[in-house]
Structure 1
Amino acid sequence: MKLFADGGIAGRKVLITGAARGIGAVLARQLHAKGASVALLGVEPEQLAEVAAECGDAPWRYCDVGDFAQVERVVATLVAELGGLDVVVANAGIAKQLALIGGDPSILEETLTVNVLGVYYTLRAAGPYICHPGGYVLIVSSLAAAVNLPLAGAYSASKAAAEALGHTLRNEIRHTGAKVGIAYFAELDTDMTTRGFGTAAAREILGRSTVSGVAPLGPAIDGIERAIARRKRQTVSPWWVSIVLPFRPIAQYVIDIALRRGVAVALEIARTEDAPFTTDQPARPRRMERPA
């Protein structure tokens, strides 16, 4: 495997999940422009084809990251088309509000399927190819893994689990020379924010659609690029997330006090509000039996 001096992007072979839109699509374009070879997967074929065309006709495949066999097959195919693999960005993720009591259990099931099992399946499939000096894994977690908001329990739990997978994998593959990084983002200008939590229930709690305000996507993408180039342990956006992370208990206490108003009403709204997932998902068998 070719070794890269930390700081370079050109020549790296990068696999990106959830590459049809948002972080994945913008990242693919930027890495391609810097000389990387990218391969893309996701569940929106038309958008994926457009992004791939803008990335020098990059290889791409439809892939449901919640389907183990499909991930194994697609990752092997894309790596073969790339001619190897240096970096995998486990970016695919979904969000949808959920009242933990009285909400629809399938929301939690679907969120964990994509955001946790999807990350694990991706790491398992790509792992043999990136376990070399110069190899790198970046898992897109969230500030929600550290600070938990009402109605975001499914998303927060999934991102905390993804974070734990990243920390574990770092120790398991260190001896190979590969490294693992985790990205922690607050509310960025993507569908994850506007479609996932820009709801009537959220506004009842916050008095607006977001907690911290929507941050531009550009700095986050630049941060991911630097993380890949230097194989960094962590990247954040906006910058202040790096200050919050070491003080998780304090930040959670502040949130607990600040967001008391409107929670009871918001929960009632959330139980019946027709809020969509941030990305439409393939039909899957339900994992739990429902009482009659």
Structure 2
Amino acid sequence: MQVGCSEGLREFLCALYTPICTNYGLHLPPCRSLCKKARKGCEEAMAELELSWPSKFDCTRFPEHHELMCVVTLNQSSFVDATTPSSAAATHTTAPSPPPFHPHHHSAFTPCSSNADCVFEIIGGQCTTDSQCSAVTPNAVCSNSACSCVSPLTSYLNLACIHASGIGDMCYNDAQCRALNTFSFCRLSVAEVVGVCVCDPDQFIDSRGQCVPRLGGRCHKGDCPRQLGAASCQRGRDAVLKCFCRKEAVQRLGVCITPA
């Protein structure tokens, strides 16, 4: 920031590390466009110092302003609609208004057969048609009479559908991580705002970047890694499937060994 390489750098870092609060009980992450603005101005200056843009600030990890409420600038925030930003200023003391209904998402003259067809819902709300869901939340459909995100997208606090994240990728909630790795969570680096996906303590990362169980760790039926040796996925005393040594094997240094 002392170099003054980008007008957006201060805004980007402030939005990330001193996040903006909303009336919904959540904090707003910076938008991808704000990240790109910061990076564009500073990348050349960093190259002269033989530095590169930090991977943890990879702009593709931040939400687009049309898919998630986020900070465009410190003077403006954006809801799911890119063309109609909230009129309220996104500051530490002022929260944006609830997302309005936008005609370009749903025709004002969409045919209907009942009053239920004219009710619009957020993720998790009851529905009878896909348009009831997508009118409020892009990439949402009506499944089993409730609004849900199109696979492989996952719900973010029932307000938006966002992409799932692998281990080491940026995340905003646990659901993003668990969509790809069941036994993982989002370790937040900024409280309630953003973090990275990591494996649960009873798991470790294999060569494919997947979370697999340690000895005594939770597992799926028939799924214990080769690294544990003679282990199998068994139901423990707590009725949870975990990797334990087989009857003929003994445990040594966290590995199951079959005596010669």
Q: Per the shorter chain, which TM-score range?
A: under 0.3
Larger RCO, structures 1/2 (Cα 8 Å, 6+ apart): 1
Q: Taking structure 1 as the reference length, what is the TM-score of the superposition?
A: 0.25
Structure with a larger share of its residues in strand: 2
Structure with a larger share of its residues in helix: 1
Q: Taking structure 2 as the reference length, what is the TM-score of the superposition?
A: 0.27
Greater Rg over alpha carbons, structure? 2
